[in-house]
Structure 1
Amino acid sequence: MEGIRCSSVLSCYYSSKTHFKLRHQALEHCFLSLPPPPPRHPASRPKVRISLPSMALQVQDQQSFHKSKEMLPKIDKSGRFCSPRAARELALLIVYASCLQGSDPIRLFEKRINAAREPGYEFDKASLLQYNHMSFGGPPVTTHSVEEADELLRSDEQDSAIEAEVLSAPPKLVYSKLLLSFTRKLLVATVDKWDNHVLAIDKVVPSNWKNEPAGRILELSILHLAMSEITVLGTRHPIVINEAVDLAKRFCDGAAPRIINGCLRTFVKDLAGTSTAQTSNSKLEVPLQV
């Protein structure tokens, strides 16, 4: 397959929630601005002190901090991501970018891997410890003051900046060799099965997704990756479905996780039915006697 072709202005399909706008801006920054961004010098970063407006907000922030701390990504001894979640996320963003650019996912992946770093570029590995793979949008938040709303907005902007820095960095600085190998296998499987899974996806997705495929690139990419991991790599489907739903919670709108969950479960049932039918037919076949 020479390339995955799609054209759209994705922002018009996204939720009006600030969380999803920031998520989408981070994604576009990461993959529409290759090669990696120019160097950032620690001395040039402004130091901002934020005073929380109320004790209730302090308690809420402390609870969310401890919760996110428990869900921080796994880092290996070399200081790189070593969690399969990170590999699936990288594969998703590569497929997403290839759809926008009309390019081949594997070639785009290799281009990112082998891209020369700009002179003076330094990656702050401390951002890996702040990056949270399990940061989800959730329902709309009601604030009781302008100060509280501004504080939440600043927090979202900081999270978005961390995501943009991590996801746009050279992959060899962010991901372990094992994860990069797994990502490539997943991309190869996705490309090989793309045409077959286009037909499978067409059977399970709702009609409104079929009518606006250009506005559902992320959702359809998640389905392609999940189906390929199940059918080619042989990962157990409960694991793949849970991972796909979590990716949808991170990068898509509110209804997408539920829809993707249903689509993949239907896909797995169809696979099981096809496999059972093939097994039954093979048992019924009687060898001819000469």
Structure 2
Amino acid sequence: MEGVLLPVCPSPSSRATPSPKIPIPQRSSFPSSHRSFPQNAPPFSLRNSLRTSTFALAQHQPPVLGKPDNPSPALPKIDKTGRFCSPRAARELALSIIYASCLEGLDPVRLFEKRLNARREAGYEFDKDTLLEYNHMSFGGPPVTVESDEEANELLRHIEEESAIEAEVLTAPPKLVYNKLILGFTRKLLVAVRDKWDSHVLIINKIVPQNWKNEPAGKILELSILHLAMSEMAVLETRHQIVINEAVDLAKRFCDGAAPRIINGCLRTFVREMELEPSNNQV
């Protein structure tokens, strides 16, 4: 995949946050595991997620242009076989593969197929009950301040539970978690990303903020979301509003700070450029 944006240099982003009376460690997005990636792979997220717990939900976040005030309920998650069946799950899985392929310098389609065909470790069993507890629509909120040891302990307990569920789901063998239709959709997304990678690198370089270009190793996840969304719109021709809303939700779930708003603006610029292409070709 020529044009992969970077060698990875972990550089946690700095955020001005109110000092809690009792400090609470932040959760990490996309935990790595030897079941998903090589044992020497770096952690899936280069920085800590703003998502701290179910106590810090998205009602405190400023609205994002183009996002409805009252979003629709989450799509059905589990089919009759007990596997994820919503497009949101496919996009999450595709994002995890794109991110890992950037870190490892591999073709995302080959990496996906490698994960699909990987042998399970001896004695490994996947707890399918975790699928019912996993929430694709859990978004981050502002940093949490607690007033007592009891509140801190309760918050940490929720964080640990959510992290364990997320790690179990995102690192399990994909065939145990996603149904065949979702795995097929995921592969189509990854093929589109691979085929459009070089041309989209050039476009992304024009539309992202200068600070993202100055520090691409700190924005791998955000840039991966842009590649995923742009490729789905350009190749699979999914409706623009659906793809942009999904990309913003992925950014809210896994990225920091202003990423959802910036990704929203970048994708709208990309859509406007796509719509102008036919008229430009006629001139």
Separation (CA, whole Å) in 1 of partners of 2:151 and 2:75: 25
Deviates more, 1:135-144 or 1:78-87: 135-144
| Structure 1 partner of 2:82 | 79
SS of corresponding position for 1:193? helix
Separation (CA, whole Å) in 1 of partners of 2:223 and 2:25: 17
Note if 1:201 corresponds to 2:193.
no
Separation (CA, whole Å) in 1 of partners of 2:243 and 2:126: 31
Separation (CA, whole Å) in 2 of partners of 1:20 and 1:97: 25
Structure 1 vs Structure 2: percent identity of aligned residues? 67
| Structure 2 partner of 1:147 | 150
Distance 1:192 1:104, change over 3 A: same
Instruction: Compute the displacement of 1:153 (Å).
Output: 1.9
Separation (CA, whole Å) in 1 of partners of 2:179 and 2:191: 19
CA deviations 1:148-184 (Å, max 9, x no partner) are: 1221122112101100001100000000000000000
Separation (CA, whole Å) in 1 of partners of 2:187 and 2:233: 15
| Structure 1 partner of 2:44 | none
Are the equivalent residues in 1 in contact too, given 2:36–2:173 (CA < 8 A)?
A: no
Note if 1:272 corresponds to 2:275.
yes
Deviates more, 1:152-161 or 1:2-11: 2-11
| Structure 1 partner of 2:10 | 10
CA deviations 1:66-96 (Å, max 9, x no partner) are: xxxx648510000000000000000000000
- Residue 177 of structure 2 aligns with an amino acid whose one-letter code is V
Distance 1:31 1:212, change over 3 A: farther
SS of corresponding position for 2:219? helix
Distance 1:85 1:2, change over 3 A: same
- Residue 128 of structure 2 aligns with an amino acid whose one-letter code is K
- Residue 13 of structure 1 aligns with an amino acid whose one-letter code is S
| Structure 1 partner of 2:185 | 182
Q: TM-score, normalised by structure 2?
A: 0.81
Separation (CA, whole Å) in 2 of partners of 1:275 and 1:163: 43
Any stretches of 5+ residues in structure 1 without a counterpart?
A: 36-59, 65-69, 282-290
CA deviations 1:125-162 (Å, max 9, x no partner) are: 00000000011111122322122122112211210110
Instruction: Compute the displacement of 1:254 (Å).
Output: 1.9
Q: How many residues align?
A: 248
RMSD: 2.6
Separation (CA, whole Å) in 2 of partners of 1:15 and 1:89: 25
Are the equivalent residues in 2 in contact too, given 1:15–1:253 (CA < 8 A)?
A: no
Deviates more, 1:8-17 or 1:259-268: 8-17
Deviates more, 1:218-227 or 1:13-22: 13-22
Separation (CA, whole Å) in 2 of partners of 1:106 and 1:126: 29
| Structure 1 partner of 2:99 | 96
Instruction: Compute the displacement of 1:2 (Å).
Output: 6.5
Separation (CA, whole Å) in 2 of partners of 1:31 and 1:101: 13
Any stretches of 5+ residues in structure 2 without a counterpart?
A: 18-22, 41-54, 60-72
